Amino acid sequence: MSRPASGPEQSSTTSVPAEGNGVGECLHCSIRHLSVCSALSCDEVQALERITTSMPVPMGATLARSGEPRAHVFTVTEGALRLVRTLADGRRQVNGFVLPGDYLGLSGSDHHRYDIEAIAESRVCRVPTSQMRDLRQRYPHLERKLLQRACQELDAAQDNALALARLQPPERLADFLLRLAAREATLLGRQGNRVSLPMGRGDIADHLGLTMETVSRTFTKLRQQGLIALPHLNVVEILDFAGLQQLANDQL
Amino acid sequence: MSRPASGPEQSSTTSVPAEGNGVGECLHCSIRHLSVCSALSCDEVQALERITTSMPVPMGATLARSGEPRAHVFTVTEGALRLVRTLADGRRQVNGFVLPGDYLGLSGSDHHRYDIEAIAESRVCRVPTSQMRDLRQRYPHLERKLLQRACQELDAAQDNALALARLQPPERLADFLLRLAAREATLLGRQGNRVSLPMGRGDIADHLGLTMETVSRTFTKLRQQGLIALPHLNVVEILDFAGLQQLANDQL
DNA sequence: CGCTTCGTTGATGGGAATCAATAACGGTGG
DNA sequence: CCACCGTTATTGATTCCCATCAACGAAGCG
């Protein structure tokens, strides 16, 4: 679904998803799509793709550090990353997980607000913010798309806040797993009941505002209740979808 | 700083704030400003203002209910409102408080995601979403402004999530008070150390993921530590700004 | 095969939620 | 102006759950 721009390849009209299907859609596809809509010349398409750099991010590497100037925006094409904020005394929060198709660059600040760390072998497309600014000015379509995305992320952030503020640990974990399953479903284009967890227990804990121990215990609890199974450490099998949804209070 | 559009008044260029100062700026001002930038005719300015309805919202009234279709967007010009989500079992979360200058309409959903309730005698400008869509298409400036706002709100939502996930009750309250103080400062244009709390203790609790009792106890704790004073129930006086900031871990 | 890292399980204590009672506020009407 | 009442806020006593501390087990890797 997402395509890195490693070299100037021809824009293929057929592989472009329909307008408005913004969820699992890589920004890069969006640019391509834009080029189709606006009837750009082949030169212009190539110009767009030339300013993006597709680069690997090895597992464990830090793509950006909190406080640094935001010199680039990114779209993830492979792997998984985490957004981490750390307080002075070591308390940690994982603001979110970034999967293929996600865009990194929606912030009002000109400095990074969190560390961006790869939790798996990853690959991102990088565009300098200045060039992105130009692009946005030139193509209103792009700005509209970004706004759409920002609104979706805002909704998601609010859902997350509700979970943190008012849900019990099992509810939070259920919510998290369902959300992850939904993302993976749109990513792969099919609805499977196996969800892979690229992140560790500690990361889940720091994302849900819990401790690693509580997350672990909650996993066993869900397992004992027959809602999920854990074939491997990093794979969850959803046994009772409806039950999980009910537990998570259904706000999807 | 914000102006309701009760009737077609002349657009006054001088009262318009400079581009880019997006924080306390009413969207209406943004439309006015836009009209200046784009050198619209007086007719067009009036056309823009004609589609907005300035309406009072009595205290306690509900402007919109969760699940309803989003037929309008709003900008608040007076008063204060709260955004409330309620779970089936009664658990409540106050997603945020809406003050003059704030825009209500940044959502990826076409249905309201929370109740919007006035906690004080308020006044809002209402624009049908369809008309807003037209406006956005016609004026790229507006779209850019909205994206800017969405990004700012996203940042704020993430800060909030961090607070909910990892801060202790006193830290959360300190953070909340400082944030409120900052908003009031930009709203009034001056930095006072008195903050008014239009919302009740219960609302604060449901915003911070605590109970009303804990909020109350935490207020007394901050008071005993000499960080704040409570001249009235709904007015906080910040005695030790630096101390509060330190307590809130500084992430402003 | 031992090492290291990560995850699970167990025992304990602290802190916020809960339950309960009192106190302060705000409005109304006398 | 003050007495009254409903609402809201504060304070107190208790309970329960999660964090913490600690030990054990499992998995990846040289």
> In which order are the strands placed within the sheet that holds A194-196?
A194-196, A235-238, A228-232
CA B81/CA B207 separation, integer angstroms: 13
Give the phi and the psi of residue B113 in degrees, each rounded to 5. Answer: -100, -5
Closest CA to A99 of A5, A186, A225: A186
CA angle B237, B239, B241 (to 5 degrees): 105
**What band does B196 get if pLDDT is binned at 50, 70 and 90?**
very high
What is the average pLDDT across B24-38? 47
Task: Report the pLDDT value the prediction gives residue A28, as an integer from 0 to 100.
Answer: 56
Q: Residue A119 in contact with residue A203, Cβ under 8 Å?
A: yes
Any alpha helices (H) in chain A, and if so which ranges?
A: 27-37, 42-50, 129-138, 140-166, 169-188, 201-208, 212-224, 241-247
Q: How confident is the model at residue B135 (pLDDT cuts 50, 70, 90)?
A: confident
pLDDT surpasses 90 at A140: no
Other Cβ atoms within 10 Å of B12 Cβ, number: 10
- Which DSSP symbol is given to A25? -
Task: Examine the pLDDT at A99 and tell me if it is beyond 50.
Answer: yes
User: How many Å apart are B93 CA and D6 C1'?
Assistant: 25
Average pLDDT estimate for B104-121: 97
Q: What's the confidence (pLDDT) of residue A190?
A: 85
Angle of helix B212-224 versus helix B169-188 axis, rounded to 10: 80
What confidence score (pLDDT) does residue B138 get? Answer: 83
Alpha carbon distance, N-terminus to C-terminus of chain B: 23
SS in 3 state form for B54-85?
A: EEEECCCCEEECCCCECCEEEEEEECCEEEEE
Reported as a single tens digit per residue, the pLDDT across B52-96 is: 888 999 999 999 999 999 999 999 989 999 999 999 999 999 999
Residue B9 scores a pLDDT above 80: no
What pLDDT shows up at residue B190?
85
**Amino acid identity of A86?**
T
Q: Which pTM does this prediction carry?
A: 0.86
* Residues on chain A bordering chain B, Cβ-to-Cβ distance under 8 angstroms: 85, 87-88, 91-93, 95, 106-109, 113-114, 136, 140, 143-144, 146-148, 150-155, 157-158, 160-162, 164-166, 206-209, 249, 251
Looking at residue B29, its pLDDT comes to: 53
Q: Does the pLDDT at position A21 exceed 80? A: no
The predicted-structure confidence for B202-235, as pLDDT tens digits, reads as follows: 999 999 999 999 999 999 999 999 999 999 999 9
To the nearest whole number, what is the mean pLDDT of chain B? 85
Beta strand B92-98 with B62-64: parallel, antiparallel or unpaired? unpaired
Q: A84 falls in which pLDDT band (50, 70, 90)?
A: very high
Distance CA B137, CA A123 (A): 34
Give the model's pLDDT for residue B47: 60
What's chain A's average pLDDT?
A: 84
Tokens standing for A206? Answer: 């720091």
Chain C nucleotides near the protein (CB, 7 A): 6-11, 15-20, 24-26
Q: At A191, is the pLDDT very low, low, confident or very high (cuts 50, 70, 90)? A: confident
Rounded to whole angstroms, the Cα distance separating A142 from A129 reads: 14
Note the pLDDT tens digit of each residue in A109-131: 999 999 999 999 999 999 999 98
Residues from chain A contacting residue B110 (CB–CB below 8 Å): none
Radius of gyration from C-alpha coordinates of chain B: 19
Q: Which two tokens stand for residue B27?
A: 């969207």
Adjacent-strand bridge partners of B228? B238
Where does residue B18 rank: exposed (0-12), middle (13-18), buried (19+ CB within 10 A)?
A: exposed
Contacting residues 147-206/B vs strand D (CB within 7 A)? 200-202
Q: Where are the beta strands (DSSP E) in chain B?
A: 53-57, 62-64, 72-78, 81-86, 92-98, 103-104, 115-118, 122-128, 194-196, 228-232, 235-238
Q: How confident is the model at residue B251, as a pLDDT?
A: 63
SS3 assignment, position B161: helix
The verdict on a CB contact (< 8 Å) between B151 and A113 is no
Q: How many CB pairs under 8 A join A and B?
A: 110
Q: In what order do the strands lie in the sheet with B72-78?
A: B53-57, B122-128, B72-78, B103-104
Q: What burial class does residue B17 get, using C-beta atoms within 10 Å of its C-beta: 0-12 exposed, 13-18 middle, 19+ buried?
A: middle
* Sole residue written with tokens 């834009």: A34
Instruction: Collect all residues of chain A within an 8 Å Cβ-Cβ radius of residue B88.
Output: 249
**Hey, how many other C-beta atoms are within 10 angstroms of the C-beta on A24?**
20
> From the CB of residue A214, how many other CB atoms can be counted at a distance below 10 Å?
17
Contact in structure between A221 and A231 (CB atoms under 8 Å): no
CA of B196 to C1' of C15 (A): 29
Shortest CA distance to A96 belongs to which of A109, A84, A78? A84
Residue A157's pLDDT is: 97
Q: Do B91 and A166 touch (CB under 8 A)?
A: yes
